[in-house]
Structure formats: structure tokens, C-alpha cells
Structure 1
Amino acid sequence: MNKLRTDMLNIAIIPGTSRPQALNPQIVSWAKDQLAGREDVRAEVVDFADFDLPLLDEVIPAGANMYQSDHTKAWGAKLAEFDAFIFVTPEYNHSISGSLKNALDFVATEFNHKVAGIVNYGADKGVRAAEHLRHILANYKLAVVRDQASFSLFTDVADGTFAPTDVSAAPFASMLTDLVSWGEALKSVREDSASEEQAA
């Protein structure tokens, strides 16, 4: 496993659905492109679909950090590498996808005292999915920045191709600014928390 640089903010971009032929990969790729060329961040797409997660099969709740299955251990270990996360979520039935919720239910402490940003999309720009996701992420002691990029299937997609308008895309920049500043600040919080645990 490659060791990530500690002088950069390591960001995982997490696709929000496992649905075949979804628009999601295009928006994930766009989000990663927005981070290209920056010297203060390192971005990697981390897809829960690559970890072959079944419907939640852990006997012990995730907060105990006593994973039994290899797929859970691998998923948790990968998330633990990162300082920050960008979730790219569609809106399904006024919420996030069931596959994303299932993936999140496997883990817990890997998100503690870190930061997240949200990119959401749907017929109504996916804003209800984003609000539901904020509630879920708060349970992980995961700070979510205020600004989010919200895209409409009617104005930001043309013939199945993601083509964001400037107005819709603009909030991504301010989201990223906060993501980086909060992410750097929270590194010290995690260090203090680790020191307290060792002293206990």
C-alpha cells in the first residue's frame, strides 16, 4: 500500500451510487478535475463498489471498531487514509442511494474529526439527498462544510452528458476552500484525540 503524503490534504472522492450506467461517474470525474493542479491536496476516487460490500453483515456495531469481515476491514482501512471526503450523491426517492447508506453503515471511527463536502444532483438538484447525508455524516463526528455544488438533471445535463452551468458549478470553489482549511485544522484535533487515548 502506498503511503500518502502528510504535507498535503488527502481527499477521497466517494461516488454516491452503484447504479449501472448512472450519471455519477461523469460528475465524480468533473469533481476530481476541479482539484487537478493544486499543490495542497491529493485527490483519489474511492468507490465502495470496489470493496464488494454485501448488505450489512457485521454483528457488532461499527462504532466498536471490531470488524469481523475482510471486506469491512479493507473498506475501513482505505477510508482511514484520508483527511477529507467529497461525496457525489444523486437523489433517489428524496434521499441518498441505499448502496451509499449501506456502505456508510459498515464503518464509523474512520470519519471522526475529519471534514466533508457534498456534490449533489437530481431532478430538483438533489438537495434533499444532501440534507439527509448531512444528518448521517454528523453522527460520525464528521464536519460538513456549508457550501455545496448542486446540479439539475434539466439544466446541467445535455443528452446524457454532464455539462454544468457556471452558476451551478460556482459553489464548488468555496466548498473546496473551506474543505481545505477545515481539513488542515482538524488534523490537530485528531492528534490531540490520539494523545489523550494513549494517555488514558
Structure 2
Amino acid sequence: MLKIAIIAGSNRPNALNPQVVDWVAEQLAQRGDVEAEVVRYDDFNLPVLDEPVPAGAHMYQNDHTKAWGAKLADFDGYIFVTPEYNHSVPGNLKNALDYVAVEFNHKVGAIVNYGADKGVRAAEHLRLILINTKMATVRDQTSFSIFTDFADGKFAPQAVSSQSFTPMVDDLVLWGEALKGVRERIAEKAAAGA
């Protein structure tokens, strides 16, 4: 069974994000091929990036970074649930992602986004960030409008918006299983060269 982290993309007070995250978790709970867990970066008390060495070197010095990285390393894939702030991802999400890199190598991600224009620019920017960590992202994403998929501050997804979720997760699972094999092959090569 594929282990999927649902990454909550905003910790803003009174944010809509928890409602969308809960919906994603409910959808995944109905599947028999994934084991999902909600992961919130604010549970790790990450300050503004304070690691002296870039994440790609995997030379973490701070306990909060080590804990955040260890948590993320446990998963085969990720679904990022992000709003769009100022035509991009929230600053806190970007900060949390800047802490790590190797944990995402040769794994798969999917994006659920929302905003005034369905959050599509946040998704575009997030893809650029994730590819730098050697993460593959599935093509389809699930996009919600704050005008049509929320009513009086409550998440009420329209069928036209949510219909892409199942095919997106189907691809996430296919890629996730394939990339498990890639990671095993990389580990074999590393062991043979040691």
C-alpha cells in the first residue's frame, strides 16, 4: 500500500485550508490502495529557514529540520493542498519546502489548489519548486474556486471541480509504485558501489 502525506499548505488563522485538507483525507480514506496521513509543517516549529547548508546536501544541523525531514522521508508520495497567495504558494509552505530536498527524491506529488482563479498559479509555482527536489508530479491537479466551491466560508466542492481528483490519485498511485522500483534500483547501485 502506498503511503501518502497530505501536506497542508497554509497555517493562516481562519484559513480555508483545513476544510480542503479534510476533504482530501476523506476521499483517500475511501480507497484501498493508499494509506494517507495529514502532515502540517507548523507542527514542527520551523522558523524562517535557518539551516546554514543548502538542503540538497542533507547536512541538517537543527533538530526541527531533522524531525521535519524524517517525517517526510516516511512517505512514497504527497498531495499538496495549497491556496494561492499573491499569484504563488503561501510563504510558509515555501519556507517549509526549502528545508528539505533528499526526502522527496524520486517520489511523486499531486496538487490540490484553490483561490480566486482556482489557485492555478500557485500550482504552477509549486511544480517548479518540487521538480528541483527530483520529485515527479502528476499532470492532473484538482482546482477549486473560492467563488463556486465554497459557500459562506464552508467548503462545498462542485462536481465539475472535484471530478479530476480520482484520476489524479490514480496517476499518483501508478507513479508512486513505479518510483518505489526506481528508489530500490538506486539503493542497489549505491550498495554495489560502497
Instruction: Calculate the TM-score normalised by the size of structure 2.
Output: 0.98
Deviation of 1:40 (Å): 1.4
Distance in structure 1 (CA, Å) of the matches to 2:62 and 2:191:
27
Tell me what 2:119 maps to. Answer: 126
Aligned pair count?
193
Tell me what 2:133 maps to. Answer: 140
Tell me what 2:32 maps to. Answer: 39
Deviations 1:101-142 (Å, cap 9, x if unpaired)?
000000010000000000000000000000000011001110
SS of the counterpart of 1:73? helix
Deviation of 1:194 (Å): 1.1
Tell me what 2:45 maps to. Answer: 52
1:50-199 counterparts in 2 under 5 A?
50-199=43-192
Distance in structure 1 (CA, Å) of the matches to 2:82 and 2:32:
26
Deviations 1:54-106 (Å, cap 9, x if unpaired)?
00000011111110000000000000000000000000000000000000000
Deviation of 1:16 (Å): 0.6
Runs of 4+ in 1 over 2 A off after TM superposition: none
Runs of at least 5 residues in structure 2 that lack an aligned partner in the other structure: none
Q: Which amino acid aligns with 2:180?
A: K
Q: Which amino acid aligns with 1:100?
A: L
Distance in structure 1 (CA, Å) of the matches to 2:32 and 2:152:
35
Deviation of 1:39 (Å): 2.0
SS of the counterpart of 1:95? coil
Distance in structure 2 (CA, Å) of the matches to 1:70 and 1:184:
31
CA RMSD of aligned residues (A): 0.6
Instruction: Calculate the TM-score normalised by the size of structure 1.
Output: 0.95
Distance in structure 1 (CA, Å) of the matches to 2:25 and 2:15:
17
Percent of matched pairs sharing the same residue: 69
Tell me what 1:29 maps to. Answer: 22
Q: Which amino acid aligns with 2:78?
A: F
